[in-house]
Structure 1
Amino acid sequence: MKKVQAIDDDLVEYGYRRVIITITAVLCALLEIVDTTIVNVALTDMRGSLGATLTDVAWVITAYAIANVIVIPMTSWLSQQFGRRNYFVASIILFTVCSFLCGNATNIWELVAFRFVQGIGGGALLVTAQTIITESYPVAKRGMAQAIYGMGVIVGPTLGPPLGGYLVDHYSWPYIFYINIPLGIIATILAISFVRSPKYGEKLKSNQVDWWGIALLATFIGSLQFVLEHGQQDDWFNDSLITSLSVVTIFGLILFIWRELTYKHPIVNLSVLKDGNLRIGTVMCFILGFGLYGSTLIIPIYTQAILGWTATDAGLLLIPGSITTAMMMPIVGTLIQKGVPQGYMVAVGFLIFFFFTFMMYNNMTPDTGVEHLFWPLILRGIGLGLLFVPITTLSLSTLKGKHIGEGAAFTGMMRQLGGSFGIAIITTFITRFTQEHRVDLIANLDPSKYQVQQRILGMQRNFMSKGFSSNESLQKAYQALDYSVLKQSTVLSYMDIFLYLGILFLCCIPIILFIKKGKNKVNPADAMH
């Protein structure tokens, strides 16, 4: 323990060095996370210039997400093999070079391939940046370190759409990748100059490396991510590829668990999950990812498709909530340092998130204004601030030494998977709820009712006044009524999703009763040694 503490103290930085390391780590976390959402608003432009179908262009997002989720659980092991600083710098360079290659891609599959490699570099940045920033602070200030890191992780997904919208509107889609290049170069120089590696034990020889573990991890995580990303558009288990990959996921997971529990030098140390707080933390990280990415998905779609906003306006709507989260982070860090139990903050965070979903449920209509969405999104920002740091510190509070780095990798992976599950489940239910509400609404549109006849007649006259014939006007009146029904049924499906999300968050509050109190005061990412 004394040796670990000595290494710990050796990595703590003071003065300007700590400030620069903090900026470098947050910059790298932001680069990675912004890149997961910045692409969403550029897909239409990519389709046009690369001559791709909607299914093809969706792979630009899928490839990056698959690479991310595969590499995150391996970051602790890779850091030990190559040295933390070397691995971190190599990841930044790989991410930056692939950003340049993505911007210069001449066809869709070139772009997808470069995005996959970019995702391998990007996934490593998240967990490694978290560990570097935390180890640069003394133990007593590590709650604050997590808060600073959390600002990047929470604000990142929100910055992507408005930044992407602006670059696409004023320049062209390659610039969403080119913007990474100067930032990547700065981060590389700072990381080489200031980041230090802890002293590791002996590296594994090539014949000791868990190659089977790596292959099984890539197989089952990659298959799962594909199923989640493409399930809805391919009609889930009615599609033979989705069914086959679901079977591969299940058997890959079983074989991976068996391999990691029986091999002497596993790529992912599953024994760390014996810790009760980490198990609870991974569940809560999954739910946090579900809520964070799920609500980030619905709001831009709702504002653009239903309210008719531009991509930039839809992205800008989310910024006040993100600023609120950023302001909450240092407050939460201070509360943790003062000994306020994280479990209480998590419970309040889930409750506030429930109030956010309930307000969205009540405020959503086909013509809702900015003023109706502003305060719910501020509430969402407060809720995320109270959830992110306490959940992360809670997860790792009863771990010691290198197990904390392994635990951080699990929480990072579960947050990403939670987001993938959230997006897949929400898109599926939006489609199904919309169909159900459409059937219900059409059932109420009885053509024999006087009010319905008057509505159609009024619309017909309106079209006739614009020069259309009587028959054409009647046809257009029916089309307009059908569009109105579709719009209303879509809004009702979004309302349902928010209601069920709220119930999910309420149900999470009792989980905090199972949390054990850590012996040491908040000690997140104590080491990745």
Structure 2
Amino acid sequence: MTAVDAHAGWRPSGNPWAIAVVVTLAAFMEILDTTIVNVALPHIAGSLSSSNDEATWALTSYLVANAIVLTISGWLSSVIGRKRYFMICIGMFTVCSFLCGIADSLPQLVFFRLLQGFFGGGLQPSQQAIILDTFPPEKRGAAFGVTAVATIVAPVLGPTLGGVITDTYNWRWIFFANIPVGIIAVFFVSILVEDPPWLQKLASKRIDIVGLGFIILGLGALQVMLDRGEDDDWFGSGFIQFMAVLAFIGIVGGIIWLKTAKNPIVNLDVFKDRNFAMGCVCISAVGGVLYAGAVVIPQFAQSVIHYTATWAGFILSPGGVAIIVLIPIIGMLMRFVQTRFIIAAGFFVMGSAFFYSSRLTPNIDFGTLVMMRAAQTMGLAFLFVPISTIAYITLPRRLNGDATALFSMFRNVFGSIGIALATAMITERGQVHQAQLSKWANPFHEPFNALIATYQQSLIAMGHAADAAHDIAVGMVYQSFRTQAQILAYSDVFLYTGVVAFCIVPFCFFLTGKKASRGAAGAAH
């Protein structure tokens, strides 16, 4: 009998729902920080006497450290103790938030953000692992409904909250706001959370230096490549090419090492469980769509129809409310409908929503944009809780730490991939559409001449000289062509994202058709 089997009936002495809320509070604070800084970058750059391009390293440093630690957080929990590790992560994340807030130069801010990402990376996996061990399998769906508030709503609210704080107060308060939340979370975690009795027996003090090195190299280089690729012209840049080679060596070498090492830092045996493997495929797609959608719509609102950062963020907020309302309904639906059917329906709804979102126009109004984003988030409500529930339902408890670390890593890394691909596609498709439209922008195309004449007559009526009015009219028509090309590019991104969502639907049916028994899902594996 294993240590896990011997304590199959263990439950923490504290109220499990209080534990779920407390650990989710910490995760919410960390996930919020992945998007809340985005809208404040121009203010940070101006305040610290740096360019916008240099200021983006405040994001890159955080994401690189975060991606690396996500993967090894299960091992760190087993060595340090999950509760102790979780409290260290919350406490140091809070301290680093304070240091970010008082930074008086960009190098200082980048360094403190690197530390913040390092300690923040342990919060999401530890939160999920604590919930897995706190709740029996039949109650995990409802518990993951609480965690969905952190995982889905935080990235949605981040740009809105960041815009409001930056416009109303100062960008430094984006970091200072974490301090009271972190103090409250540390206090209640110290009271409520307990390590399961088998965790100490599973602890390994041996450090897999080679495996750790491959993970740092592969995920670190991949994150740098994804975050800096758009600014550095992707593979037209020698730096990005070098990062791509390092990422390939690190990831492929890491997989080979972790599969053959006697005591790997991350146990890849979790992928032998079909539900977990397919759950990772599904959550990767969710991560890519969630983060890409949260970036593309505000970017469209600001760059094309010239909304402020605050109003661009407000477009996302109703979608967050829709998720909160729908998640309990989906939880009840899971009692009567096979989980894989709910997940398949979620991807179908999401694909349909992105197809609907591709119908962008130059005169689109605020309400329509809100409806488009709300439709997208409706699909997310069908996905996160069911995927998180079924991914672990047949997995042995002894693998929970590694599983939650890898599950969170897939979601975040593919979120970065989704953002990178979406922003790159906007640029590329914009150039394609501009080239296509330019065929009609010539003196031999009568509608083009008629449009210039219309603008010119209006300008002359406003008092402009005829020659000057003609030049201004040509410039206005050219700007109209550019705007049309941009709108078509954003529409293409939404259309392709919808296709990706539809393509994931067949994979949902590889998941287990019915819930596993208590014994199969619990420690008696």
So what's the TM-score if we normalise by structure 2?
0.94
Q: Is the 8 A contact 1:282 1:414 kept in 2?
A: yes
The corresponding residue for 1:455 is 451
Contact kept, 8 Å, 1:13 with 1:137, in 2: the verdict is no
Which of 442, 445, 452 in structure 2 is aligned with 1:446?
442
Written as runs of structure 1 = structure 2, the 5 A alignment for 1:18-29 is 18-29=16-27
> Which of 175, 190, 193 is residue 192 of structure 1 equivalent to?
190
Distance in 2 between residues matched to 1:32 and 1:375, nearest whole Å: 28
Q: 1:366-385 to 2 correspondence within 5 Å?
A: 366-385=362-381
- Write the deviation string for residues 427-474 of structure 1: whole angstroms up to 9, x where unpaired: 111111101111111211232344322322332344455555444333
1:361–1:496 contact (8 Å) kept in structure 2:
yes
Pick from 389, 414, 419: which aligns with 1:418? 414
2:226–2:420 Cα contact (<8 Å) kept: yes
Q: Which amino acid aligns with 2:353?
A: F
Provide the C-alpha distance between the structure 1 equivalents of 2:144 and 2:518, rounded to a whole number of angstroms. 10
Cα pair distance change 1:381/1:33, threshold 3 Å: same
Equivalent in the alignment of 2:123: 125
| 1:506 counterpart residue number | 502
Indicate which of 375, 383, 390 corresponds to 1:387.
383
Query: Partners in 2 of 1:177 and 1:461 — Cα distance?
Result: 53
1:467–1:100 distance in 2 versus 1, CA, 3 Å = farther
Q: Is the 8 A contact 2:340 2:512 kept in 1?
A: no
1:297–1:219 CA distance, 2 compared to 1 (3 A): same
Q: Deviations over 1:84-119 (max 9, x none)?
A: 110000000111011011111111121111111101
Q: CA deviation at 1:13?
A: 4.7
1:166 to 151, 164, 167: 164
Per-residue deviation at 1:524? 12
Q: 1:145 to 1:414 in 2, by over 3 A?
A: same
Larger mean Cα displacement after TM superposition, 502-511 or 397-406: 397-406
Which of 356, 360, 378 is equivalent to 1:359? 356
Q: Which residue of 2 aligns with 1:346?
A: 343
Alpha-carbon distance between aligned partners in 2 of 1:518 and 1:343, rounded to the nearest angstrom = 8
Is contact 2:136–2:522 with CA below 8 Å preserved after alignment? no
After TM superposition, list the pairs within 5 Å mapping 1:63-462 onto structure 2: 63-199=61-197, 200-201=200-201, 203-205=203-205, 208-336=206-334, 338=335, 340-362=337-359, 364-462=360-458
The percent of aligned pairs where both chains have the same amino acid is: 36
Q: Which residue is 2:11 aligned to?
A: 11
- Give the whole-Å Cα distance in 2 for the aligned partners of 1:274 and 1:132: 22
Write the deviation string for residues 271-324 of structure 1: whole angstroms up to 9, x where unpaired: 221222222111111111111111111110111122222211111121111111
User: CA 1:130/1:376 → structure 2, altered by over 3 Å: closer, same or farther?
Assistant: same
Aligned alpha-carbon RMSD (Å): 2.1
Shift of 1:128: 0.7
After TM superposition, the structure 1 stretch with the greater mean CA deviation from structure 2, 369-378 or 397-406, is 369-378
How far residue 183 of structure 1 moved from its aligned partner, in angstroms, is 0.6
- The CA deviation string for residues 315-348 of structure 1, in whole angstroms up to 9 with x for no partner, is 1121111111112222222333x25211000111
Contact 1:402–1:526 (CA under 8 A) maintained in structure 2? no
Instruction: Judge conservation of contact 1:68–1:122 (CA < 8 Å) in 2.
Output: yes
Task: Indicate how the Cα distance of structure 1 residues 477 and 239 shifts in structure 2: closer, same or farther if over 3 A, else same.
Answer: same
Change (3 A) 1:189 1:174: same
- TM-score, normalising length from structure 1? 0.94
C-alpha distance in 2 between matches for 1:523 and 1:439: 62
Q: Structure 1 residues 472, 335: closer, same or farther in 2, change over 3 A?
A: same
255-264 or 156-165: which moved more? 255-264
The structural deviation recorded for 1:518 is: 6.5
Matched, 1:479 2:475: yes
User: Deviations 1:104-138 (Å, cap 9, x if unpaired)?
Assistant: 11111211111111011111111111222333223
Change (3 A) 1:111 1:466: farther
Query: Are the structure 2 counterparts of residues 354 and 203 from structure 1 closer, same or farther at C-alpha, using a change threshold of 3 Å?
Result: closer
Deviation larger for 79-88 or 269-278: 269-278
Q: Equivalent residue of 2:439, what SS?
A: helix
Structure 1, gaps ≥5 residues long: none
Q: How many aligned residue pairs are there? A: 521
Report Cα offsets for 1:41-66 as digits up to 9, x if no partner.
10110111111112211111111111
What's the CA shift string for 1:466-505, capped at 9, x where partnerless? 5554443333222222211111100101111111111111
| Shift in alpha-carbon separation, 1:44–1:519, aligned structure 2, 3 A | closer
Counterpart residue type for residue 316 of structure 1 = F
For residues 517 and 505 of structure 2, the distance between their equivalents in structure 1, rounded to whole angstroms, comes to 23
* Alpha carbons of structure 1 residues 525 and 496: separation in structure 2 relative to 1, 3 Å: farther
By how many angstroms is 1:376 displaced?
2.9
Read off the aligned partner of 2:10 and give its amino acid letter. Answer: D
Distance 1:285 1:202 in 2: 27
